[in-house]
Structure 1
Amino acid sequence: MSKKISAENIKELRSKTGAGMMDCKKALEATEGQIDLAIENLRKKGLASAHKKSSRIATEGVIESYIHAGSRLGVMVELNCETDFVARQLEFHDLAKNIAMQLAACQFVQYISIDQIPKEFILKEIEIEMEKDDILKKPENVRKNIVEGRIQKRLKEMTLMNQSFIKNPEICVEDLVKQHIALLGENIKVRRFQRFILGEGLEKKSYDFTQEVSNMIYNK
């Protein structure tokens, strides 16, 4: 006899995955109520459906902002979807807000994905790594393998989609976006972002109180 799936089980699975109610129910039925297996199945399904939708044009969406406490750091991000209907959904706005917060937390991130990083930059990084003292005396093939590993790590550190999601480190931002593609049924793309740090790029004036007092005394 198959295990009866309760509304509480479905609600729990939905809160953990963001998948639709019927998808959660079917996943639980297929796994006889085992939450962990149902999550795994939904993620696999979401990744498959997201891959199919990834080439579809997404020109609707929202521009979301996040201002960190103290108002010294802010982020604006453009998140695109296919229709205005999805752009108005709460889940889509929550995703945009979470991505903006992620960008505020990950200040080394400069690109959305690795394929946006200029080839010239990558080649220069490879050149620098190949000449580092700690691997200089190693065989050529060993050096290349070490450098490849270091470069991949560096590129992932610089890209949004490869970051561990700050609210759930078990998934990366790319997984988060794909979960929402499965949930909302449309292609979703992070198009661009801008980070603002108060005073960045400005030459800050240094204040020398002793010198000011000295000037006041001798200029009387």
Structure 2
Amino acid sequence: MPTITASAVQELRTKTGVGMMACKKALIEVNGDIKEAIKYLREKGLSNAAKKAERATKEGSVFIQISDDHKTGVILEINCETDFVAKNDDFLETGNYLAQTILAQNNVDHKDDLANLKLENFNNFQEYLSEKILKTGENLVVKNLQKIKTSGFLSQYIHLNGKIGVLVEFSADVDSTLGKDISMQIAASNPLYVAPSDMPAADVEKEKEIIKKQVLNEGKPANIVDKIVLGKLSKYYKEVCLLEQAFVKNPDKAVKQILPAGIKINTFVRLALV
């Protein structure tokens, strides 16, 4: 076997955009000749995959997988170039396979961890992705990835054929109906926080200042400005905080009022392509 230097691998990678492992393999196959390695990669189609990887991706889908005990969940957004591919069975199978594989492995919690992902018949994730890019004919990008592990309970909801996905963590077991209802609430209302207490203090003060300026510009008496600000801030919380929002299935109640005693919503993740 010829000795392949790191600088040769890097040079080939720079010229082709192909992953390091594939570049090293190509150099080994052609006894270290850079020009022949480029030809080898073109024949294998990997160079074309790298070129596709520069193209914009605005379509795609959200994928979710939850363990049978509802203690671990993965939410994953994969982007492609066209809606046609986003609805293609191969693309959907790829997304579901990745979500299932990530769920089963303990060393991948975020997008930056994908280099750790073990995939059967592939040296690494990038090699796997390059093959899928060639198969679909479009650039594919993992835009978002989060894994939640809990001692509580996870629920999920997919809306608009994968255009919106929600993963919710409860503090303890809940029935499937409530879990779905809360997930649908998040999908529809797009809250930014679970509760007002989750909003950073600096953001609260900034919002207060904005409201105060609005009130003063309306010419309200100075002695009632603070009271009006608090009232408007409360309305703002109802827009951006899940627990304060009107429950979509019964607007007469806030979300916090429909939760069973002792049950809390710890966190949620909402991914959307719309």
Q: TM-score, normalised by structure 2?
A: 0.42
Is 2:155 the counterpart of 1:67? Answer: no
Judge which range, 138-147 or 70-79, deviates more: 138-147
Task: Name the CA shift for 1:132/1:163 in 2 (closer, same or farther; >3 Å).
Answer: closer
2:178 is the alignment partner of 1:95 = yes
Which structure has more strand as a fraction of its residues? 2
User: Which of residues 52, 77, 93 is equivalent to 2:168?
Assistant: 77
Report the secondary structure of 1:66's partner residue: strand
Runs of 5+ unmatched residues, structure 1: 1-58, 82-86, 182-186, 200-220
Q: Deviations over 1:121-151 (max 9, x none)?
A: 1111111222227645333212222222111
TM-score, normalised relative to structure 1? 0.52
Partners of 2:176 and 2:192 in 1: CA distance: 22
Does the C-alpha gap of structure 1 residues 136 and 165 become closer, same or farther in structure 2, counting only changes over 3 Å?
closer
Is residue 2:234 matched to residue 1:145? Answer: no
Change (3 A) 1:98 1:190: same
Deviation at 1:72, TM superposition (A): 0.6
- Cα 1:127–1:137 shift into 2, 3 Å: same
- Contact 2:169-2:267 within 8 A present in 1 as well: yes
Aligned to 2:205: 123
Q: CA deviation at 1:95?
A: 1.4
Q: 1:175 to 1:133 in 2, by over 3 A?
A: closer
User: Which ranges in structure 2 are unaligned for 5 or more consecutive residues?
Assistant: 1-149
Do 2:156 and 2:165's aligned partners in 1 also have CA atoms closer than 8 Å? yes
Which amino acid letter does the alignment assign opposite residue 265 of structure 2?
Answer: V
Percentage of pairs with the same residue: 34
Contact 2:216 2:225 in 1 (8 A): no
How far does the alpha carbon of each residue in 1:153-185 deviate from its partner, in whole angstroms, 9 at most, with x for none? Answer: 1122111111121112222211110xx23xxxx
After TM superposition, give the deviation of residue 93 of structure 1 in Å: 2.4
- Look up the equivalent residue of 2:205 and give its one-letter code: L
4+ runs deviating over 4 angstroms: none
Paired residues, number? 125
